[in-house]
Amino acid sequence: MATRPPLKLLMLHGYTQSGPLFHAKSRALIKHITKAFPLHEISAIYPTGPLRLNPTDIPGYTPQEGSAVTSEEDAIESYGWYRRSNTAEPPLYVGLDDGLDAIAKVLREEGPFDGVIGFSQGAAMAAMVVSLLDSKRQDAFAHFSSSSSGGERFTYPASFEKLSHPSLKFALCYSGFRSPGDRYRAFYENPPIQTPILHVLGSLDAVVEESRSRALVEVCVGDPESEGKVVWHPGGHFLPSQRPYLDAAVRFIRESLEGDMQKYKAQEEDVNEMDLPF
């Protein structure tokens, strides 16, 4: 009996979440994908961000009088890929190197992956990861590091320089956003992000402003909005589990995989048509 081809997904949780929690929250999505691709062996890998958060790191946290975290056992199971520091302008992502290094380790040890699915901060990370795996991205980092405009620039991560992993075929970004300011421009410009991304956004999202999500849409190749790669749901800051939005995810993955196969087929035909000296 023929072995089913793998369809491996990297799942990146949001700020204050964890791998196991995102597994629970994305269960409906993975179940729908598994059902839609019966000829594939679906696997979803859920790493947890390297940054363990304190209660004071949680947005909206207000300590009760006389309360304190007294031991590691009392600490919350809440993690992030980086901390946003608002003391810098524009904001600085503290620990972003560590977050990207952790993801590079998963790519190296458990890949190759076909696609990445992220939520909120995880979606921002997903966009950066597909960008880093795009061809010519190191040239973009070199270009912006030598730019005449002022300000410290984020450099291409060493963990990705050493990584032998193909470009991903697709990304799904739920409540995603672009990293702010010139410091992170190399992720998004010269060239724009090449990997197809489906942006799923909540019209009532009060956590990620629409302008930040649109800033990510605008740095993706082509015209994502007119190409049907921007999907709005009538809810807030969460993964929608209603059928239309699950179907949209499946349709996008299918189109991305078919497009990838057509690309390789075209390359194969080009080779066959070459006048080779043998």
CA dist 128 to 48, 179, 270, 271, Å? 17, 9, 32, 32
Phi, psi for 65 (deg, rounded to 5): -60, 125
Gap between the Cα atoms of 205 and 233, Å rounded: 10
Gap between the Cα atoms of 91 and 84, Å rounded: 6
By annotation, the residues acting in catalysis are: 120, 205, 237
Work out the number of other CB atoms within 10 angstroms of the CB of residue 21. 17
CA dist 131 to 164, 189, 197, 221, Å? 15, 10, 11, 11
DSSP letter for each residue of 215-253: HHHTTBSS-TTTTT-EEEESS-SS---SHHHHHHHHHHH
